[in-house]
Amino acid sequence: MQRKKKKRRLKKSVKRGCLGIIIFLLLLAVFLFFRCSPAKDFFFSKKELPEEEIVVEPDSVDLAIADDVQRLIRRAIHIDTTMLAVDVYDLTRGCYVYEYHSHRKLIPASCMKLLTGVRVLKQLGADHQYCSREYILGKVQGETLYGDLLLQMDDDPLLLSFSDFAEAIRARGISHIKGRVIYDLLRTDTLRPHHTAQPYDITYRQVPLLMKGAPRVMSEFRASLRAAGISYDSDTLLFNVPLTKDAKLVYQYQTPLREVLKPMLTNSSNVKAECVLYHNQHAQDRLAEPDTSLYMKPLDFVQTECIYDRIADFVVNDGSGLSPENRLTADFLVQLMVYAYKDSVIRNVLIDEALATPAHPTRHGSLLGRMSAPCYRDRIFCKTGTLVSYAASSLTGYAHHQNGRWFAFSIINNNSPVYDGREFQDALCRLLVE
């Protein structure tokens, strides 16, 4: 009996062992099958599931603002609503609030400067400096420099004269240069507006010193040397001159980019905008020569940064918005402001320093005489745009609602009296802050 029991136990053990091995082999086969075959695509882990884009819908506050804007457009008098574009975006919640003809391509006027400003802040940085330097190449004996004087001049639009450069040489005790004065200029041609703009918008008299062309720059520096009592043998214009080991820095003049953007955006300086457009390209590559595609570079930036994908028929002829052939949409300008808002550095420069804001003692700029009511104070930060000859006006920027929300907005009026267009824009801004 005991032998029979032992045999039964042995048989059960063998059966269990064989069954375990079979199950293990089956599981292994299933694992290898799904690991090596396309069938695994049907078994997603949670992490492998494609992320769904979260769509934020306007809430009651956004819907109330949208209703108010719609009523404002219906009540608009002397406004060609067929040539009006309005776009409002809730930055705090991340959703559109209101759109009206927002994809219609219209004349943006000086709101074009926003593209110029955002691009230069992104590509060169908020701390970028215009820098012009003066070097001595040679030895000084007594009051004579035996060698050359090298000027490496940036295209700084705020440099007004060369007197400090000449005085720096005189302070070294030099009264004669037994050699050359070498001019290495970042810009050698003269600043001119796009040929489609009105010639009186940027006259030669308004052009900054370093943007007047090489002959004028050289003649102005000669006059400064003469005024300081310094003589020299000859002068020449060279390009990208390498510094030798014996080069000694005599004088350096720097201007922060921020100081150029302030008058460009706050006061809508067309000259500064064209200067920045040119500088942005050549500061990145000093060896680059001016080319005919210069004015299309901003659209390259838009594509590279994935700011907007419907730019096929956009027209960007300049950096200032003076060309009446420029064409942008309100939706694009809003998305540009959304892009800038997401970059804390660019956002802070625009809101805290560069954009015009009403009723401010120093930053009202091109908003002078507009939005004087207390409700606008410290709540509207924007760029104005006006081309009176073409009945075009625009306003783009940020609005800080009294409930704490931030909005990006763009309003473009074409074929409407500028005065009436501005009244409409101011009224819409009031809806965004109260």
Residue ranges of the chain with pLDDT lower than 70? 1-20, 24-25, 27-53, 284-296
DSSP 8-state code for residue 54: P
- The pLDDT of residue 319 is 93
Q: What's the pLDDT tens digit per position in 94-148? A: 999 999 999 999 999 999 999 999 999 999 999 999 999 999 999 999 999 999 9
Q: Is 403 exposed, middle or buried (0-12, 13-18, 19+ CB in 10 A)?
A: exposed
Task: Give every strand in the sheet of 129-141, ordered side by side.
Answer: 231-238, 176-185, 144-153, 129-141, 247-256
Cα 94 from chain centroid (whole Å): 21
Provide DSSP, 254-275.
EEEHHHHHHHHHHS--HHHHHH
Buried b (16+ CB within 10 A) or exposed e, 360-387: beebbbbbeebbeeeebeebbbbbbbbb
- The pLDDT of residue 36 is 53
Which residues belong to CATH 3.50.80.20 in the chain? Answer: 129-256
- Please state the pTM of the whole predicted model: 0.84
- The pLDDT of residue 165 is 97
Provide DSSP, 213-238.
-HHHHHHHHHHHHHHTT-EEEEEEEE
Which residues belong to CATH 3.40.710.10 in the chain? Answer: 60-127+261-433
- The pLDDT of residue 82 is 95
Separation CA 200–CA 91 (nearest Å): 39
Q: Which CATH class is domain 129-256?
A: alpha beta
Helix (H, G, I), strand (E, B) or coil at 146: strand
Q: What's the pLDDT tens digit per position in 334-380? A: 999 999 999 999 999 999 999 999 988 889 999 999 999 999 999 99
CA 223 → CA 220, 245, 434, distances in Å?
A: 5, 29, 58
Would you say domain 60-127+261-433 falls under CATH 3.40.50.620? no
The H or E element spanning position 12 is: helix 2-36
- The pLDDT of residue 286 is 58
Q: CB atoms < 10 A from the CB of 269, how many?
A: 24
| Token representation of residue 356 | 């015009």
